[in-house]
Structure 1
Amino acid sequence: MSFNLLERTEPGRRRFGVALFVGIIAGIMSAFVKWGAEVPLPPRTFSGGRDEFNPPYLFLRDYLGIDPTHAVYTFSEHVINPVMVTHIIFSLVFAIGYCLVAEIFPKVKLWQGALAGIIATIAVHWISFPLLGLTPSLPNIPLDEYISELLGHIFWFWAIEMIRRDLRNRITHQPDAEVPLDAKFR
């Protein structure tokens, strides 16, 4: 038995419409998990003149020309910070992408989504954000930030995977695409 990260599912077993629908639900719900992880493990220090906004906010503002401050809203007499809206947007994008990719490449779900969380942390926070100037270079980021982002993303993708698997299986009444249909399933 070989271990192939690029192993693909049979095209006839893929359910992209379900993956899109489930990705939307998982994206919204997992945004709350990511926020919750940031309470005991704040992701950023604000020392050294760092911008008060998170990297997704800066990406939307500086690279896409979208001003997230227009998304401010009031709930229960509280003005909700637009930075929170960027978390939902990015959570939707990543959850939908993850759910669609999982239909083709089942190994992305390794360790119940934790592998995807690790890959997202490395690719986005440790490589892309410093290259785009959204965060300082790696040697200038405190260890606390590395730990917070890594654990937060692992929890985030674990939540996405739990939601993805449960809803996909409930909607299709079948196991995931890589699992034989005659396998014991519940």
Structure 2
Amino acid sequence: MKGFFALTEPKRRRYGVALFVGIIAGIMSAFVKWGAEVPLPPRTFSGGRDEFNPPFLFLRDYLGIDPTHTVYQFSEHIINPVHITHIIFSLVFAVGYCLVAEVFPKVKLWQGALAGIIATVAVHWISFPLLGLSPSLANIPFDEYLSELVGHIFWFWAIEMIRRDLRNRITHEPDAEVPLNSPYR
């Protein structure tokens, strides 16, 4: 198995485990992503632009759901369920990552950091501006896209740590690309 786009052996893939682990990793890593936004807030609230986050705008503009009308209270705090959207996005990306890792092991490069970089570029730097959910990179301060980049690297690193640990514990095997007789099990 050589090359960047090398595939694992089909008989070594564990899609059911990947789906299960992806759900767990998605929920847990959503909290990692939120936590990364505390020291590195993703928006500067400058320039007079719409200051809602992209998940809020996606719900409002593309799905017709106004998250401001569906708040709930927990521990005397008013919670806007737009945060649930972060968990949903995290679930989708974590499950996708775990499934892809079963087939294309190089997605795990740098313990998932490469996937975090790719997600940042593809989603925040390309897709969101094209969908009108955020300004283009040329129109936002450097610290905003730096925050997203660092947050996504931590997020995917957490997904990968959870993925690898749980997959290996559940299957009692190394990852699909590692030979079963390898001393690196």
Say which SS state the counterpart of residue 42 (structure 1) adopts: coil
**Quick one: distance in 1 between partners of 2:20 and 2:138?**
40
Structure-2 residue corresponding to 1:137: 136
Counterpart for residue 176 of structure 1: 175
Going from structure 1 to structure 2, the CA distance change for 1:49 and 1:126 (only over 3 Å counts) comes to same
Aligned to 2:80: 81
Q: Kindly indicate whether residue 54 of structure 2 is the aligned counterpart of residue 55 of structure 1.
A: yes
Question: Residue 101 and residue 61 in structure 1: after superposition, are their counterparts in 2 closer, same or farther (change >3 A)?
Answer: same
Match of 2:73, SS? strand
CA contact (8 A) 1:174 1:181 kept: yes
Q: Distance in 1 between matches of 2:107 and 2:68?
A: 34
> Residue in 2 aligned with 1:32?
31
Q: 1:68–1:85: 8 Å Cα contact kept in structure 2?
A: no
Report the Cα distance in structure 2 between the residues aligned to 1:5 and 1:171, rounded to whole angstroms. Answer: 27
Aligned mates of 2:48, 2:122 — CA distance in 1: 24
Contact 2:67–2:80 (Cα < 8 Å) also in 1? no
For the Cα contact (< 8 Å) 2:43–2:51, is it kept in 1? no
Aligned mates of 1:152, 1:42 — CA distance in 2: 9
- Cα distance in structure 2, aligned partners of 1:123 and 1:44: 18
Please give the alpha-carbon distance, in whole angstroms, between the structure 1 residues aligned to 2:176 and 2:125: 32
Name the amino acid aligned to 1:29. M
| CA-CA distance at 1:64 after TM superposition | 2.8
Equivalent position of 1:106 in the other structure: 105
The TM-score, its normalising length taken from structure 2, stands at 0.94
Shift of 1:60: 2.4
> Counterpart of 1:17?
16
Scaled by the length of structure 1, the TM-score of the pair is 0.94
Give the Cα–Cα distance (whole angstroms) in 1 for the partners of residues 151 and 19 of structure 2. Answer: 23
The answer for unaligned runs of 5 or more in structure 1 is: none
- The 1-side partners of 2:68 and 2:89 are apart by 16
How far is 1:88 from its partner?
Answer: 0.7
Gaps of 5+ in 2: none
Aligned residues: percent identity?
85
Which residue of 1 is the match for residue 118 of structure 2?
119
CA distance in 2, matches of 1:71, 1:163: 32
Q: What do you get for the CA RMSD once the two structures are aligned? A: 1.5
